[in-house]
Amino acid sequence: MTWSGYFDANATTPLWPVVRERYLEALDTTWQNASSLYHAAGAARRELEGAREELADALGIGQPERIVFGSGATESANLVFRHLAAKSAPDAKVMISPLEHPCVRDAAFDCFPGRVIPAPLDGSGAVDLEATAARLERDRPVLLSVMAANNETGALQPWRELGEIARGLEIPYHCDAAQWLGKMPLDEFGSVDWLTGSGHKFGAPKGTGFLVVPEGIDRLRGASVGGAQESGRRAGTENVPGILAMMTGLTEAGNLLSQVSGEARDEFEERILRSIPGTRVVGEDGPRLWNTSMLVLPAFSNLSWLTRLSHLGFQVSTGSACSAGKGHPSHVMEAMGLSPDEMGRVLRASALWSAGPDEWSGLAAALEGVWTELCQPSGEAREKRRLRL
Ligand code: PLP
Q: What is the pLDDT of residues 201-252, one digit of tens each?
A: 999 999 999 999 999 999 999 888 999 999 999 999 999 999 999 999 999 9
Beta pairing, strands 116-118 & 143-145: unpaired
Is 113 in the same domain as 244? Answer: yes
Write down the pLDDT at residue 323.
47
> Ligand 1 centre and the CA of 118: distance in Å?
20
| Strand bridging mode 292-296 / 67-70 | unpaired
Burial class (CB in 10 A: 0-12, 13-18, 19+), 329: middle
Owning domain of residue 163: 17-255
User: Are both 347 and 274 inside the same structural domain?
Assistant: yes
**Ligand 1 nearest atom to the CA of residue 147, by list position:** 3
d(CA 274, CA 216): 55
Residues recognised as catalytic: 322
Q: State the distance from the centre of ligand 1 to the C-alpha of 74, rounded, in angstroms.
A: 6
pLDDT grade for 322, boundaries at 50, 70 and 90: very low
Which residue has the least CA distance to atom 10 on ligand 1?
73
Is 9 a domain residue? no
Residues 59 and 168 in one domain: yes
The residue whose C-alpha atom lies closest to atom 12 belonging to ligand 1 is 73
Binding site membership of 176 for ligand 1 (Cβ less than 6 Å):
yes
Domain end point (choices 229, 255, 281)? 255
Please tell me whether residues 312 and 212 are part of one structural domain: no
Q: What is the pTM of this model?
A: 0.95
| CATH number of the domain within which 80 lies | 3.40.640.10
pLDDT higher than 80, residue 327:
no
Does the CB atom of residue 196 touch ligand 1 within 6 A? Answer: no
In a domain, 136, yes or no: yes
175-189 pLDDT, tens digit per residue, is 999 999 999 998 789
Q: Is the pLDDT of residue 381 over 80?
A: no
Q: For 75-100, what is each residue's pLDDT tens digit?
A: 999 999 999 999 999 999 999 999 99
- Count structural domains, the chain: 2
Q: What is the pLDDT of residue 1?
A: 63
What per-residue confidence (pLDDT) applies to 325?
Answer: 53
Residue 266, class by beta-carbon neighbours within 10 Å (0-12 exposed, 13-18 middle, 19+ buried)? middle
Ligand 1 mean position, distance from CA 373 (Å): 35
Query: Does 222 share its domain with 283?
Result: no
Res 380: pLDDT = 64
Q: CA 148 to CA 152: how far, in whole Å? A: 12
Clarify whether residues 140 and 222 are in a common domain. yes
Torsion sign (Cα): 228, 229, 231, 232: negative
Where does a domain end: 255, 274, 304?
A: 255
- pLDDT tens profile 338-350: 999 999 999 999 9
The reply to whether 11 falls in a domain is: no
Question: Does any ligand 1 atom lie closer than 6 A to the CB of residue 76?
Answer: no
Distance 102 CA to ligand 1 centre (A): 8
- From the CB of 157, is ligand 1 less than 6 Å away? no
What digits encode the pLDDT tens for the residues 109-123? 999 999 999 999 987
- CB of 151 within 6 A of ligand 1: the answer is yes
Q: Which of 101, 146, 152, 294 to mutate to test the pocket of ligand 1 (most atoms within 8 A of CB)?
A: 101
User: Is residue 209 within 8 Å of residue 72, measured between CB atoms?
Assistant: yes
Question: From CA 11, how far away is CA 317, in angstroms rounded?
Answer: 8
> Do 240 and 304 belong to one domain?
no
> Rounded mean pLDDT of 6-13?
98
Residue-wise pLDDT for 122-157, tens only, equals: 878 899 999 999 999 999 999 999 999 999 999 999
| pLDDT higher than threshold 70 for residue 389 | no
Residue of higher predicted confidence among 330 and 282: 282
Confidence bin at 17 (pLDDT 50/70/90) = very high
Q: Say if residue 39's pLDDT is above 50.
A: yes
pLDDT tier for residue 321 given thresholds of 50, 70 and 90: very low
Q: What is the mean pLDDT of the chain?
A: 94
Please tell me if the CB atom of residue 209 comes closer than 6 angstroms to any atom of ligand 1. Answer: yes
Whether 286 is in a domain gets the answer yes
Domain assignment present for 152 = yes
Residue 324 Cβ inside 6 Å of ligand 1? The answer reads: no
Same domain, 284 and 347: yes
pLDDT for 347-366, tens place per residue?
A: 999 999 999 999 999 999 99
Q: Is 323 in the pocket of ligand 1 (CB under 6 A)?
A: no
Atom of ligand 1 nearest to the CA of 151: 5
| pLDDT at residue 276, rounded to an integer | 98
Q: Out of 234, 255, 276, pick the residue that ends a domain.
A: 255
Contact criterion met (CB below 8 Å) for 364 and 271: yes
Question: Which domain CATH number covers 282?
Answer: 3.90.1150.10
Q: Do 241 and 268 lie in a common domain?
A: no
Element (H, E) at 349: strand 346-350
Distance from residue 198's CA to the centre of ligand 1 (Å): 7
CA of 185 to the centre of ligand 1 (A): 19
Residue 44 and residue 66 share a domain? yes
Amino acid (1-letter code) at residue 169: L
**CB 131 within 8 Å of CB 82:** no
Closest CA to 240 of 11, 22, 87: 22
Per-residue pLDDT at 180 = 98
